[in-house]
Structure 1
């Protein structure tokens, strides 16, 4: 079976990503028990009180696992995994925009750009699912890249309150 140049490149990138992750995890020094409990993630933004960060943390931990599953599903061309994960991301309950009189709510503390990007992520995750369903490698890679652009922009908006 002869692979197209695009597919061969995608396979090589997938293997490089997997190799990098394995190398990085093997190279990590052993952590103390107290350090091992800390989950990887975004640093805490200065503008949110701890109580608000706690509410978001649970939602974002599940979101982080979905992001990892999607990365591997796409990179390894596991279409069913990529599709199911992208659909799960697109169906994730969203935080609603602040309402009048709710100035003390968590939603009012988040920047407006967060809500715009949250909606954009939903649409882009649906595009990833559609490409995975069609087994269209090029569309899958492109739609995944656009989704990751949205993820990075959303994380920046969250951290810097843009």
Structure 2
């Protein structure tokens, strides 16, 4: 339980820090503003071609908003918000594992661990939604912490091609 609370706290601090990118001062250029906006997502991994990054960027836009909504819903015990966001995450279309002969498929560049964690995230998001539905704060925090472990592991696998 103490570990789940620690994880939840660290994730909350991280999301709060990332939720509001630093605003450019006074006469800052548009390039600086665009650079600040780009700092809100994952960096682009070197191994992934632009076509694959574009596919993932498109998929992850809503995912990122759902993750922010979930964080705030859980932290503020807004059960309806937490449940809806967790259900959205669980219901997201999954990227299919590459098939033999599909070398042009952008997913061929992703590590197998990405697909395993994608499935794990769905299962854990369902558990968060269920806890929010029951308004069980303790289980909600624990399940959210487990989901965040999966999210961080997936981001790591994506960036480092584990």
Category of TM-score, reference length = shorter chain: 0.7 to 0.9
Q: Structure 1 residue 35: deviation in Å?
A: 2.9
Higher-Rg member (1/2): 1
* In structure 2, distance between residues paired with 1:56 and 1:119: 16
Deviation at 1:52? 1.5
Q: How does 1:70-149 map to 2 (within 5 A)?
A: 70-149=70-149
- Partner Cα separation in structure 1 for residue 114 and residue 16 of structure 2: 29
RMSD (Å) for aligned C-alpha atoms: 2.5
Q: Distance in 1 between matches of 2:32 and 2:66?
A: 23
Whole-Å Cα distance in 2 between the matches of residues 26 and 52 of structure 1? 26
Structure 2 gap ranges (5+): none
Q: Aligned-pair distance for 1:27? A: 6.5
Count of aligned pairs between the two proteins: 148
Cα offset, 1:60, TM superposition: 1.1
Residues in 1 aligned to 2:51 and 2:21: alpha-carbon distance in whole angstroms: 35
Structure 1, unmatched stretches of 5+, are 1-8
1:1-162 → structure 2 map (5 Å cutoff)? 17=13, 21=16, 25=20, 29-30=24-25, 31-37=28-34, 38-39=37-38, 40-162=40-162
